[in-house]
Every structure is written in C-alpha cells, then in structure tokens.
Amino acid sequence: MKYFEEIQVGDVEVTRARTITEADIVNFAAFSGDWYPLHTDVEYAKKGPFGERIAHGM
C-alpha cells in the first residue's frame, strides 16, 4: 500500500476482484441513505444511460 504522495501517473495496483451482490447494494443504500433508483430500481435503471442498475460510487 502506498501513501497518496507516492502514487505516480501510470502506476498500476492489482487488487482482489469482488462481485457486488444485491445485498451489497441494499446495505450500502441503507447505510448511506442513497436510494437513488439508478442503483435500486431495476425498471427505472433499464431506461437510464447504462441500461441496468449500477453500484454506488465510493
């Protein structure tokens, strides 16, 4: 792990992969209060720019 000041343009950091689950989406929405339908409503999200729900950003 690097400190922010040590990161250079072009650096590559390999991290573990993780699949985001339905429970992750609901739990994060509940924790953050962000129930925006692009994250939580399948039908609403189908009409959006991605055509499906997307996970919350960090």
Cβ atoms of 54 and 39 within 8 Å: the answer is yes
Mean pLDDT estimate for the chain: 94
pTM higher than 0.75, yes or no?
no
Q: Give the domain ranges of the chain.
A: 21-58
Tokens of 21: 């689950």
Q: What is d(CA 12, CA 57) in angstroms, rounded to the nearest whole number?
A: 20
Question: How much is the pLDDT for 15?
Answer: 87
Quick: pLDDT tens for 3-58: 999 999 999 989 899 999 999 999 999 999 999 999 999 999 999 999 999 999 87
Confidence of residue 2 (pLDDT cuts 50, 70, 90): confident
